[in-house]
Amino acid sequence: MTLAVSAISTTGQPTDRPEQIAELAAACRDHVKRAVGVALDDTPETLPLLDHYLALCRTSVTERPEVLDLLVRTTGAYFGEVLRIRLGGFWWSCSEDPSAWLMCSRSVFLAINPFGVAHEALHQGVNVEGPSSQVRIAPECQQSVEARLSRLPSVSEPDYYLLSTRLEALEIIAEASRVVRLTGRTQQRELTQEDYEQEL
């Protein structure tokens, strides 16, 4: 499986953690604690626990499709918060629908819809309509990122959709983008929404 990456093109207003995201992520913590008896703490180390929770939920989604939207929103918000903290980013509210919002890094040009990642994790690659999980990066980083990802060992399809695997891949994408940025002539400072708009 290969991770799709593309250039970003959208508009909206940035904020580190909107109230809606905080509420959805808190709901995810509550659901996981009730289901498996262990608390999530917004660290990458808890993503395998969240992967386990999603595996338990897949039967519920099949039997009760109406719970899918709630699972995608809560899990996506939690995953997005882990990404935001880990990669140093902000939420870009580019739509009235929070499930379309992007998590954008301040240190490198990288944006992703965490709800799309959660949607794919729940469906394990089955082609079901939902938010995109495509990673959006600066055009000048595309070649370096793809080359770096091509050197990774292959993973099984089930492992590809794990949130813990996705985080590892995103960290590699961020590092490859950081190398390009450091060797370029751009000023080394935190990126903002304006940078995302101007560079693409």
Residue bearing tokens 């508009």: 11
Residue 197: the pLDDT is 63
For the chain, which residues make up each domain, given as ranges?
5-199
Residue 64: the pLDDT is 82
Q: How far apart are alpha carbons 9 and 43 in whole angstroms?
A: 29
Residue 130: the pLDDT is 82
Provide mean pLDDT across the span 75-81: 97
Provide mean pLDDT across the span 165-192: 85
Provide mean pLDDT across the span 105-121: 93
Q: Order of strands, edge to edge, in the sheet holding 13-15?
A: 5-6, 135-137, 110-112, 102-105, 89-93, 13-15
Kindly report the pTM of this predicted structure: 0.87
Residue 198: the pLDDT is 66
Burial class (CB in 10 A: 0-12, 13-18, 19+), 72: buried
Total Cβ atoms within 10 A of residue 71? 21
pLDDT of 188 above 70: no
Question: For a pLDDT cut of 70, what percent of the chain falls above it?
Answer: 87
Provide mean pLDDT across the span 55-78: 88
80-92 pLDDT per residue, tens: 999 999 999 999 8
Provide mean pLDDT across the span 72-100: 91
